[in-house]
Amino acid sequence: MTLRRYLGMALLAAGSLAAQNTVTPQRLLEASKEPGNWLTYSGDYSSHRYSGLAKITPANVKGLGLAWVYQSPVAGSWEATPLVVDGVMYITQRPNDVVALDAATGRVFWSYRYNNLEDPRVCCGANNRGLGVLGDTLFMGTLDASLVALDRHNGHLLWKTRVAEAKAGYSITVAPLVVKDKVIVGVGGGEWGIRGFIAAYSAATGKELWRFYTVPGPGEPGHETWLPCPTDSKEYCDPEAWKHGGASVWVTGSYDPATNLTYWGTGNAGPDYNPVQRPGDNLYTASVVALDTDTGKLRWHYQFTPGDRYDYDAVQVPVLADIQFQGKPVKAMLWANRNGNYYVLDRVTGKFLLGKPFIKVNWMSGFDTNGRPIQTPQPVGQPTYPGLQGGTNWYSPSYSPRTGLMYFPIWEDQAIVFSRIPVAYREGNGFGGGGFQPFVPSVGDPKKGIPTAAGVPNLRRGPINDWTDAAGHGAMLAVDPATGEPKWKFSMTDVTDVGAVTTASDLLFTGGREGYMQVLHARTGELLWKRNLGAQMLNSPITFEAGGKQYVAVMAGLGLFVFGLPE
């Protein structure tokens, strides 16, 4: 006998207004065909951060107004990108909360709090950059290096898998990449002496399916780039440097269904600033790796900064675009790197096609025929360009197939004086191996910096820009993807940690540390609209539809601001 339950509901299954269909692998493959949603960290697998929406236009954008705001109850920088699935927005907030909101009103359906172990060690705050989705399930990495799966309709925990040991400095801040039946994540901890890896987990069960160590072990290709210590070394050298060699992964990669490769950028070698104790190129740090999505096997790699001594990382979003390069069609990977160079690689073979500085660089003077940078380390005490934060960083770029331009935020004229000290690895302890001092040129003697003193600008600060443009400034740059030639530049007084989204109406949404959300014309860089949101922006805007209306969402301070046109 089956008893009758929930009589009223059974009669009215007619219900659903916004059809909420399961997110199939096919929907993820064709995410760009449903621009009303935002189904992956970068909008689609090719990471264009380009939306087919076009209701907000250069002509009507002046009417853009505030639709709603969601305030995070947790203080600290907010680096997450939301997902939007059929009218429901899913966000993460510090440290590992997940919240489901009505995308049209901002009202909360449910929230979930993950209780981290007491172990997490993170270099740069309790950040989480977002979620992955498949079927009816959301996936999130946690600060204590676990991966969790939640029922996206009610926020209940479905499974939890421990990925790595938090007390050894491992964490997960990256938004997972979901491909087919797999959830792919990498681990953070480049400042704690981890041995980085990228791993895939079963979306259904959380079981680990493959793991690729971004620092190869003995016998594996690439291990030979962790050279033996010289017998006559006068400085401390670590004979087992690879064991805590870094190459963390904390920004979401891309996927090309044609090659079945997934592409990920890797972080700095460990320790960050002292290459003497880890001689060699230190593969696969500061590199892009192309992995077979089914097996995790390495297909190719390219190292942007061999033997990285500047913490340049290569933690950017790989942009996959089919472009004309020197008169021929190329399946390209476009990459504006933190080290100040813009790159074009062949994403099928990994071949280096182009490298070109987009800002002042002095750590290298050019490339050899193999695409290896010719490094020019600066004398002790002298500034290195770009500085620690790089020419750009993890902030999402955008590629518009309409304009044919590549867009990315840049830091210009910003330098650091790096220093190195030996550091022995101890589990759970910081593993920097040196330091850095922002460089502010003296008037009349630009090679000489204003001495360190209270008040000398630091990398982090409050709402007053006491750094000023003397120590560098930000801009949004548009380049020809095939040549790296600048097409336009929108300059800001302060720097920017904000990526971009472009639209089918040739708008570009971005922001900056000053707290302005800015809408630019994607073809000219002309400023069309701006609003002061009152706090630093630290993520990249997205655009989506709810109830047939286009919105733009961005986080500033503790606020998630959503804008739309008037009714």
Partner 1 sequence: MALTVIAQQPVMQEHPEAYPKADIQYGARLYGEHCDRCHGANGAGVSGVNLASGKFRSATTDGQLKMVITNGFPTAGMPPFRFDTADLTGLVAWLRNMNSIDRGSMKAGDPARGRAIFEGKAACGSCHRVNGKGSRKGPDLSDIGTLRSAGYFERILVDPNGQLLPINRPVHVVTREGKAVDGRRLNEDTYTVQMVDGEGHLQSFVKANLREFRISTKSAMTSYRGELQPDELADLVAYMLTLKGVL
- What residues contact residue 354 under an 8 Å CB cut-off, 6+ apart? 325, 342, 343, 344, 482, 483, 484
> Least distance in Å: CB of 114 to partner 1?
11
Q: How far is CA 522 from CA 63, 403, 500, 506, in A?
A: 18, 7, 10, 5
Nearer Cβ to partner 1 (15/444)? 15
Q: Which stretch binds partner 1 (CB under 8 A): 151-159, 415-423, 523-531, 551-559?
A: 151-159
Choose the binding region for partner 1 from 157-165, 185-193, 238-246, 404-412 (rule: CB under 8 A). 157-165
Q: Is the dihedral of CA 547, 549, 555, 556 positive or negative?
A: negative
Among 60, 154, 376, 442, binds partner 1 (CB under 8 A): 154
What does the alpha-carbon distance between residue 335 and residue 356 come to, in Å, rounded to a whole number?
Answer: 11
Residues 5-24 that bind partner 1 (CB under 8 A): 5-18, 20
* 117 sits near partner 1 (criterion: CB under 8 A): no
Distance of closest approach, residue 150 Cβ to partner 1, in angstroms = 10
Nearest-approach distance from CB 83 to partner 1, in angstroms = 13
Residue list 63-92, contact with partner 1 (CB under 8 A): 87-88
Closest to 402 in 3D by CA, of 544, 528, 506: 506
Q: How many CB atoms lie within 10 A of CB 259?
A: 17
- 54, 158, 209, 565: residue in contact with partner 1 (rule CB under 8 A): 158
Question: Residue 110 Cβ, how far from partner 1 at the closest point, in Å?
Answer: 6
CB of 498 to partner 1, least distance (A): 29
Q: Which of 119, 151, 165, 480 binds partner 1 (CB under 8 A)?
A: 151
Q: Are 138 and 125 in contact (CB under 8 A)?
A: no
Cβ distance to partner 1 smaller for residue 14 or 453: 14
- Binding to partner 1 (CB under 8 A) within 493-512 occurs at none
Displacement of CA 46 from its chain's centroid (Å): 14
**Measured from the CB atom, is 106 or 430 closer to partner 1?**
106
**Active-site residue 311, yes or no?**
yes
User: Shortest distance, CB of residue 159 to partner 1, whole angstroms?
Assistant: 6
Decide: 196 and 189 in contact? Cβ < 8 Å.
yes
- Site membership for partner 1, residue 131 (CB under 8 A): no
Peptide bond into 279 cis (omega under 30): no
SS3 393: coil
Contact yes or no for 215/285 (Cβ under 8 A)? yes
- Mask for 18-57, x = binds partner 1 (CB under 8 A): x-x-------------------------------------
Q: How far is CA 350 from each of CA 200, 285, 299, 333, 353, rounded to the nearest angstrom?
A: 22, 16, 9, 9, 9
Considering the rule CB under 8 A, would residue 116 count as an interface residue with partner 1?
no
Task: Indicate the residue among 117 and 158 with the shorter CB distance to partner 1.
Answer: 158
The span from the CA of 84 to the CA of 440, in Å, is: 42
From 311, 313, 497, 506, active-site residue: 311
Q: Does 159 contact partner 1 by CB under 8 A? A: yes
State the minimum distance, in angstroms, from the CB of residue 109 to partner 1: 5
79 vs 86 by CB, closer to partner 1 = 86
Q: How far is the CB of 146 from partner 1 (least distance, A)?
A: 11
Which one, of 128, 215, 201, lies nearest residue 171 by Cα? 128
d(CA 98, CA 131): 9
Candidate residues 30, 76, 125, 153; the one interacting with partner 1 per rule CB under 8 A? 153
Find residue 113's DSSP bridge partners. Answer: 97
Q: Which listed range, 4-12, 184-192, 278-286, 343-351, lies at the site for partner 1 (CB under 8 A)?
A: 4-12
Residues 6+ apart with CB under 8 A from 132: 40, 41, 83, 138, 139, 140, 175, 176, 177, 178, 183
Total residues contacting partner 1 by CB under 8 A comes to 37
Measure the CA–CA gap between 433 and 245, rounded to whole angstroms: 12
The verdict on 208 binding partner 1 (CB under 8 A) reads no
Q: For partner 1, which is the closer residue by CB, 331 or 549?
A: 549
Rank residues 14 and 380 by Cβ distance to partner 1 and give the closer one.
14
- Asked if 257 contacts 348 with a C-beta cutoff of 8 angstroms, the reply is no
Contact pattern from residue 90 through residue 109 relative to partner 1, giving x for each residue in contact according to CB under 8 A and a dash for the rest = ----------x-x-xx-xxx
- Is 118 a binding residue for partner 1 by CB under 8 A? The answer is no
Does position 115 interact with partner 1 (CB under 8 A)? The reply is no
User: Please, what is the minimum distance in Å from the beta carbon of residue 100 to partner 1?
Assistant: 6
Question: How do strand 501-503 and strand 50-51 relate by DSSP bridges?
Answer: parallel
> How would you write 504-553 as a 3-class SS string?
CCCEEEECCCCCEEEEEECCCCCEEEEEECCCCECCCCEEEEECCEEEEE
User: Does residue 124 interact with partner 1 by CB under 8 A?
Assistant: no
Which H, E and C letters describe 279-326, residue by residue? Answer: CCCCCCCCEEEEEECCCCCEEEEEECCCCCCCCCCCCCCCEEEEEEEC
Q: Does residue 190 come out as left (phi exceeding 0), alpha (psi in the -120 to 50 range) or beta?
A: alpha
Residue 51 or 137 with smaller CB distance to partner 1 = 137
Specify whether the CB–CB gap between 397 and 408 falls below 8 A: yes
Nearer Cβ to partner 1, position 145 or 241? Answer: 145
Query: Nearest distance from residue 3's CB to partner 1, in Å?
Result: 5
Instruction: Pick between residue 39 and residue 122 the one whose CB is nearest to partner 1.
Output: 39
Candidates 557, 433, 430; CA nearest to 497 is: 557
Active site residues: 311
For partner 1, the binding residues (CB under 8 A) are: 1-18, 20, 87-88, 100, 102, 104-105, 107-110, 151, 153-154, 156-160
